[in-house]
Amino acid sequence: MRFGLGCAGLLMLALVGCDAGRTPSGSGAFVQADAALPAPVPEPTDAQALRARAEAALRAQRIHTPAGDNAVEYYLALREREADAGVAAALAELQPYVLIATEQALSQEQLDDARRLVGLLARMDARAPALPRLRAGLDIAQARADREEGARIAEAAHAPSAPTIVPATTPPLPAPVPAAPRTVPSVTPAPIATSAETTPVPTPVVVAPPAAEPPAPARAVSAPQGVPKLLRDSAPRYPLAARNRRIEGSVQVAFTIQPDGSVSDVRTISAQPEGLFEQAALAAASRWQFEATPRRVSTTRTLTFRLPAEPNG
């Protein structure tokens, strides 16, 4: 009997303990009490992580590509979180690289990449002088691509179908018509003159060539216009990979000076060694500013990369 009461008492205590962990709801049912949830783990988008990612992308030469994982986009995200002079200076230094990549994408008709780079340049500097020219070039290239695509569609729609080949029947050949007999007229030979007189040979008339006209006066050919004076020079940024390996070199670039003195169509002609200094030279050349000129002038220039001498001892 004591054992039965003891079991009943333990059962009641268990039920009371279970009910203590429940709270009544408005409908009379019971809901479980709130449990402690773990705090959400923040994504690594703080300023320190963004700065580290930007520097890593810069060391790996991921300046503006691939989309979403490049130094420019990381610095732009960092600029939105804090106003830092170092971030602004980094974006200003990387802007020529984006400008050159946009011009190359337009020249190669890679319109999707060119459109992305134009948007990237606008985010870096909405008042960049090259933006109107790049947007106009993108519109022209897109219109040309649309016309070519429309012409291809129209040509495919109006292309004639393959003709049905019907075997031709050979008509019977007509009977041959006998040829009429040919009559050869008799020719009486002319009498041969037996006179000793010979026909006089006319004296040939020698026609003197016309007197040579006096040579026309030579036109004065104007010498090609010289290169305008360089107003603002820009030293190239020494690549980190070349600096760490103590490598020196040179790059010869070709470019066009616009009437307002700005530089466009920058491209490399030669580089020693190849693959290290080209991007830095192109970026520096795009920042040059010359005197205004009445017409566009194409010229070249060689940039030399030299390391300072190491101190002795």
Residue type, 39: A
pLDDT in tens, the chain (313 residues): 344 445 444 444 444 444 444 444 444 433 343 434 444 434 556 888 988 999 999 899 899 999 999 999 999 998 988 878 888 888 888 988 998 989 888 888 898 999 999 999 999 999 888 889 999 988 998 988 888 888 888 887 776 655 555 555 555 555 555 555 554 444 444 444 433 343 444 444 444 444 444 443 333 333 345 889 999 998 899 999 899 999 999 999 999 999 999 999 999 999 999 999 999 999 999 999 999 999 999 999 999 999 988 766 5
CA distance 122 to 131: 7
**Residue 258 burial by Cβ neighbours in a 10 Å radius (0-12, 13-18, 19+):** middle
Q: Please answer whether residues 302 and 251 qualify as being in contact, where contact means their C-beta atoms are separated by less than 8 angstroms.
A: yes
* Number of alpha carbons in the 13 Å side-chain half-sphere of residue 80: 10
Q: What's the pLDDT at 160?
A: 64
Q: If phi over 0 gives left and psi between -120 and 50 gives alpha, with beta otherwise, what is residue 109?
A: left
Domains and CATH numbers, the chain: 47-156 (no CATH), 230-305 (3.30.2420.10)
